[in-house]
Amino acid sequence: MKKQILFLLGLVFSLCACHQKTDSLIGEWEADKVNVHFDERRSTPGMVKQIGESEKHNYFIIDKDSMLVFNSLEMEMIGRVTTDKQGNLFLEGAPFGQWKNGEIVTRTPSPLGEIVVTYRKKGA
């Protein structure tokens, strides 16, 4: 009987810890830093600047039901977000970003290179 009670207490504490961790994801996240790592032989400085400026307008909202709404100048995505123990974020099971130290970092590959955007919670 004691083992069952200890198991249930452990389960409750672990569920509370997970809940508190994901609660800090709830809110509006806005682009803070944008790094465009493109092959210089296949792009121009103007193109890199334009893409970087476009990415600065990105933001997303995560609600209490783990629904994420992502908005950019080009598109909107909606889906359920999940996390793993390492802080990796998944949108409908697909990799979305890395959550660490109060920031979410996304990496978007392209034929020209990679775009890395660091998001911070609005008002933080």
Domain of 27: which CATH number?
A: 2.40.128
Higher pLDDT, 107 or 74: 107
User: Are 98 and 104 in contact, with CB atoms under 8 Å apart?
Assistant: yes
- 1 pLDDT higher than 70: no
The percent of residues above 90 in pLDDT, for the chain, comes to: 74
Nearest-angstrom CA–CA distance, 24 and 19: 9
Query: Which residues lie closer than 8 Å to 105 by C-beta, 6 or more apart?
Result: 97, 98, 116, 117, 118, 119
For the chain, how many structural domains are there in total? 1
- Quick: pLDDT tens for 9-56: 333 333 333 444 567 899 999 999 999 999 988 899 999 999 999 999
Nearest-angstrom CA–CA distance, 55 and 58: 5
Q: Are strands 59-62 and 94-100 parallel, antiparallel or unpaired?
A: unpaired
Nearest-angstrom CA–CA distance, 83 and 111: 28
- 81 pLDDT higher than 90: yes
Higher pLDDT, 64 or 10: 64
